[in-house]
């Protein structure tokens, strides 16, 4: 698997104007990249239409942070896959730990969203991760296998080929996150790869496995060097264009060495 996926979820941090100016800058950096980095950004829903115009003449892929699984209906405050399809997105992030934690999203609901995304040709970026109690109780692998199996339940091999998986340990995410050891990340990714191959013997090896959780300029290279890490899902370090530029340029240099 030669492509390296690198992207960022802006969460609830950028206005439309801020998002447009960020994207204009990122486009310039993206133009200078020659490698096989697959770059994506995931703005807030309100900015998607404008940012779509910005990225349409670039290599930057565009995604949404969440959606409902139904096409239409009485679901106040929700956005449907049909609505996202009107904008024309490449991917949709599903099951981020903040969605699970603050909005009680379950793996079964994420599975419905995954199917809905596929119906509209959007790549589901499925986030999974164990919390600190689960890690301390040494059940991380069981928890992650269960999340993966339920989130991908019922998908055909052709469908699962479109899926991206992001491993994001809950204890490593955000301001209070503790960056994970690269070796731990490597072990978990190898476990996830094995699980995917058990589930899909013919294509399990092709599904990109991204790592996310306090990725920064000091740790991104050790993470990407892990055998089964196929990309980075970056929060705070990518929201700042200065640090994101350094990360992208150093990563490109590293992978072309
Ligand atoms: C995230 O919340 O998904 C994330 C990766 O954030 P950060 O890099 O800021 O920990």
pLDDT tens digits, one per residue of 222-255:
999 999 999 999 999 999 999 999 999 999 999 9
Q: Give the model's confidence band at 1: pLDDT under 50 very low, under 70 low, under 90 confident, else very high.
A: low
Most ligand 1 atoms within 8 A of CB, residue of 41, 42, 127, 168 to mutate:
168
Indicate the number of domains in the chain. Answer: 1
Q: Is the minimum distance from the CB of 214 to ligand 1 under 6 angstroms?
A: yes
Give the residue numbers spanning the domain of 26: 4-256
Structure confidence at residue 257 (pLDDT): 83
User: In terms of Cα–Cα distance, which of 37, 23, 44, 148 is closest to 93?
Assistant: 44
CA 124 remoteness from chain centre: 9
Structure confidence at residue 20 (pLDDT): 98
Provide the CATH number for the domain around residue 100: 3.20.20.70
Q: Which atom of ligand 1 is nearest to the CA of 214?
A: 10
105-131: average pLDDT: 98
Q: What is the pTM of this model?
A: 0.97
Going from the Cα of 201 to the center of ligand 1, the distance in angstroms, rounded, reads 31
Enzyme catalytic residues: 96, 168
């Amino acid at each position: 698997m030669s492509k390296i996926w690198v992207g960022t979820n802006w969460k609830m941090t950028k206005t439309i104007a801020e998002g447009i100016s960020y994207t204009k800058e990122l486009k310039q950096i993206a133009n200078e990249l020659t490698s096989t980095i697959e770059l994506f950004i995931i703005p807030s829903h309100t900015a998607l239409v404008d940012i779509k115009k910005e990225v349409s003449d670039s290599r930057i892929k565009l995604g949404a942070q969440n959606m409902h699984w139904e096409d239409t209906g009485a679901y106040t405050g929700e956005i449907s896959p049909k609505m996202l399809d009107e904008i024309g997105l490449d991917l949709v992030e599903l099951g981020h730990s903040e969605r699970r934690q603050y909005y009680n999203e379950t793996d079964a609901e994420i599975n419905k969203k995954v199917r809905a995304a596929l119906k509209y040709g959007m790549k589901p970026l499925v986030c999974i991760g164990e919390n600190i109690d689960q890690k301390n109780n040494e059940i991380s692998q069981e928890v992650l296998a269960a999340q993966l199996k339920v989130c991908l339940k019922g998908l055909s091999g052709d469908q699962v080929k479109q899926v991206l998986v992001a491993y994001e340990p809950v204890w490593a995410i955000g301001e209070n996150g503790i960056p994970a050891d690269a070796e731990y990340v490597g072990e978990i990714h190898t476990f996830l790869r094995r699980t995917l191959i058990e589930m899909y013997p013919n294509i399990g090896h092709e599904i990109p496995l991204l790592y996310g959780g306090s990725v920064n300029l000091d740790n991104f290279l050790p993470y990407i060097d892990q055998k089964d890490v196929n990309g980075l899902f970056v929060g705070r370090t990518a929201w700042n264009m200065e640090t994101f530029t350094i990360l992208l340029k150093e990563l490109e240099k590293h992978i072309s060495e």
